[in-house]
Structure 1
């Protein structure tokens, strides 16, 4: 078995080509292999800025839109989903099966950021997706060291998929 991606597009402002979904599935497989995960499921939803703003306010207490939100099914240390978190390495050590969680991407924000950073929208969405996936499996970027680690992991996966800057 492998990682499964269930996705939906709940916004109309930005076109999400079918080919990009295949790329996101590839990124999911590459990121999972890099983290030693065997199988599981991730739900991805594309929304507009208004919806991600609402979610960010309601669930994080931050009253502004953001680019990506991740909602993990299990908290660190829990094993119900089949993910065994290794607190020493701050990552998922094994995945037996189960739903990892939800990744919500603002397509509007991704488009604006792709223009700001001077790369393709496909690359920006890929970056946000891998970033969200790493959050689902326990990574965070609360300090400079953990941010460098996440960025390194994200860039390595994107490079493997041909989505380098």
Structure 2
């Protein structure tokens, strides 16, 4: 089950198709959907979580808490829509594309993809692009 929660005025367009896309991405990697919760918030909300839980005093676009068990994908994904909007401008892409990239990025971490090294970052970007090609 995928749920979308809102701690800001933002509302996701077409929740049903986004949910199907995320579920498809999970099953394409031979994993099973458990419970994934998306929480859309603002910079202040996410910054507070970043300081409290990760001891990082910085702004970020996403924080994900992975509760997956093997191939059963579970977790909470917090997304700052303000950061996504700023990043979309910086990367010269639409807000929707950047939002989808961030949303699937969290799920790809749960599936097992990392992004600490340059090689891992390249693979993560490839996986994001593959997933994005399925929703466009």
> TM-score, normalised on structure 1?
0.76
Please say which structure displays the higher CA radius of gyration: 1
Instruction: Decide which of 5, 10, 16 is 2:7's aligned counterpart.
Output: 10
Please list every run of 5 or more consecutive structure 1 residues that lacks an aligned counterpart in the other structure. Answer: 75-82, 85-93
1:26 aligns with 2:23: no
Distance 2:115 2:12 in 1: 30
Measure how far apart 1:6 and its partner are.
Answer: 0.9
Give the count of matched residue pairs: 136
Q: Which runs of 5+ in 2 are unaligned?
A: none
Instruction: Give 1:122's aligned residue.
Output: 96
CA distance in 1, matches of 2:81, 2:122: 25
Higher RCO (Cα < 8 Å, 6 or more apart): 1
Counterpart secondary structure, 1:135: helix
Runs of 4+ in 1 over 3 A off after TM superposition: none
Offset at residue 158 of structure 1 (A): 0.2
Q: CA deviation at 1:66?
A: 0.2
Mapped partners of 1:133, 1:11: distance in 2: 22
Higher helix share: 2
Superposed counterparts of 1:53-92, under 5 Å: 53-74=47-68, 83-84=69-70
* 2:131 is the alignment partner of 1:157: yes
Give the corresponding residue for 1:133.
107
Contact 1:67 1:105 in 2 (8 A): yes
Structure 1 CA distance for aligned equivalents of residues 53 and 110 of structure 2? 15
- TM superposition shift of 1:147: 1.1
Over aligned residues, Cα RMSD in angstroms?
Answer: 1.6
Q: CA deviation at 1:127?
A: 0.3
Shift of 1:26: 2.8
